Each structure stands twice: as C-alpha cells, then as structure tokens.
Homo-oligomer: A and B are copies of this chain.
Amino acid sequence: MEAAGEGALIAQYLRPHTHRHPGAFALLDDAAALAVPEGHELVVTADALAEGVHFLADDPAETLAVKALSVNISDLVAKGAAPFAYFLTLALPERCGEAWLSCFAMGLGRVADGRLAGGDLIRTRGPLTLSVTALGLVPEGRMVRREGAKPGEEVFVSGLIGSAYLGLKCLVGESLGAVSSLDDSSRARLVGRYREPVVEMPERLAEGVRGVASAALDVSDGLILDAQRLALVSGVAIDIEAERVPVDPAAERLIAEGAVVREALFTGGDDYCVLLTSPLCAQGLQAHPLWRERPPVSIGRVVDGPAGHVRLLDKAGNVVNIPRSGHDHFRKGGAE
C-alpha cells in the first residue's frame, strides 16, 4: 500500500544499516529502544548540513551520506565517545528520488556500521538538508570537555589541517587559480577530504582522546576559531606555531609556490579532526599505549592570557596576523 511511499523507501535504503540495533525494530516502529550498557553514559550531538551552505549542490549523494555521519562521528570521538547509534532526518527536494536514495545508501554502507537506529524522510520545496543526531558511549563521567585545558599543557591535532579547504577550492571554479598547479592525485585526495571526512577507527581514536586529553573538541569551523572556543571555555589562551601544524604535502608545495598563504588553511573549516590539550608532552604522548599508531601532532601550547585568545606564531616567535578566524554562518562581521 505504501509501495512508493516513505515506508518502502525507508525499508529499502535505510533498514540495511540498522543491523547492530535489534531495538531499531528494522525501522518498522516509530521509535528505537536502546539499552545503555551499565557503567556508561550517553554522549549526544546533533549536526545538520544544508545544501549551498555545508556542501555543494552537485556533491554526490554517496559522499553526502559519508559526510553527514562523519561530521557527527568526529564530534563524538573528540568527546572521547565511541559511536553507538545514529538518527537521520533527510529533507529531500523533489529531484532526490529513488536513484538518489540508492546512492545515498551506498554511502551509509561505508560509515554507518549498522548503527543507524532511526530516521525520518520528509519532502521539502527547498534545498536538501541532512540532520543527524549521534549517540556515543563513554564510561560514566568521562566525556572530554572543552573545559579543562591548563597553562603549560601542549596542544595537539589528530590530522591534517586545511585539506578540505583546498579540496573545496578545487571544486569551486572561481578560485581555481590558487590550486591550478595541483596534479590530479593531489586534487582527488584534497577533494576527498572535503567530501568524505571519514574518521578512521573511531573507537580507538575516542579511547585515545579519553586517555590523554585535558580538553578537546573537533575542528570543524577552522583551527583558529575552534582553538578560540576551547580556550574560551577553559579560561586560557593558546599559542599555535604555524609551521608545526600538519598539512598535506600538496599544501606545502602551494605555500612554497606562493599560491596559498599558510594561515588561510587554519581558517578554512571542514577539517573534522580532533584538537586536544594534554599534560603529556609530544614524546610522552607518542609513547602512550593508546597512541602507538598515528599519535596526534603537537602544534603549540596552552598559556596564561585573556580567555579565548589564540595567537599564531611564526618560526621566529612573531605573531602572524589572521584575517578572520573561521566559519560562523551567523556572524555578520569578522573576528579577531
């Protein structure tokens, strides 16, 4: 009876991604029933993506699914939480029919790991909007906060900064100039980070963050802005050494050519890696049993200073001017 309806679409394209949750009732009910393991508490985050704001109108459905879940997984992991369950609502314009949903489902297959537990499909006359609520688990009281960084601690990032920013430039014609010298494989790698910011081994990364971080958050709106946010809530200042921030080799080449300024990579957004502070030094962290592989990279230090103040320093220790600190779609003017 609902052959062409919401129920049938959900059954075909979303149900296959619920297999870890018997309490999702194969999406045949109105809600999911989830038991939280003893000694654990929930970490819950909600992030939405809108066409034309957070992704491009011609981004493929498959990569949108990957991105929508990944940005939420990134949020969980930065809080030290292992992914538990995802709830997805899609506001779909008419053009997004079965073919679109079928591609979207392929993307879900790559990152949902059977943890989808509910969702809603609605029609909209406007642009495509994806909204995800992600539930994660931490041992009781162990969520890693923005609050907690202390002067003297080191500041780390778990991945490369600025790749998605350059990937977006590769996709948007008007800015092609800056990235025109890139070879195809670099271009594909950078575009990949913009479209599919997959978090590798999220459980292990979450455990690593929980094990060593005094404070953390995910870098989503630009390294500088997110560092400011952490510093503000922690009541500290942060110094970042520009040349220690890890960037893609292709980004280094563009900087060397003068096609891109290094600072621009730190305000670009869409990095989806973890910024964390720790009482451990870089060597201590590399030797930590939870961080044998790919330990985060030290990029600076928590210092005394005005709460929320972030300074970017060059090799000589001089302050580098930052034109604007990151993305906030609600802010009218610039910052800093």
Interface residues of A (CB under 8 A from B): 1-2, 4-7, 9, 23, 25, 28-36, 38, 41-54, 75-76, 78-79, 81, 85, 87-89, 91, 117-127, 129, 131, 133, 135-136, 138, 140-141, 143, 145-147, 217-218, 228-229, 232-233, 308, 325, 328-333, 335-336
Contacts and interface: CB of A to CB of B under 8 A. Distances in A.
Contact of A233 (B29, B36, B129): B29
Do most interface residues of chain A lie in helix, strand or loop, or is the interface mixed? mixed
Contacts of A124: 50, 52-53, 126-127, 129
A30 B122 contact: no
A146 B25 CA distance: 10
A9 B330 contact: yes
User: What is the count of identical protomers in the complex?
Assistant: 2
A175 to B, nearest CB: 20
B89 A48 contact: yes
Contact of A42 (B6, B34, B333): B34
A269 to B, nearest CB: 13
20 contacts: A28-B147, A29-B217, A30-B78, A31-B43, A31-B45, A34-B43, A34-B44, A36-B36, A38-B38, A44-B85, A44-B87, A45-B118, A46-B89, A47-B89, A48-B91, A53-B124, A53-B125, A91-B91, A91-B131, A125-B126
Nearest to A336: B1
A110 to B, nearest CB: 21
Nearest to A50: B124
B46 A41 contact: no
Contacts of A131: 46, 48, 89, 91, 120, 129, 131
B81 A1 contact: no
A40 B46 CA distance: 23
B75 A30 contact: yes
A102 to B, nearest CB: 15
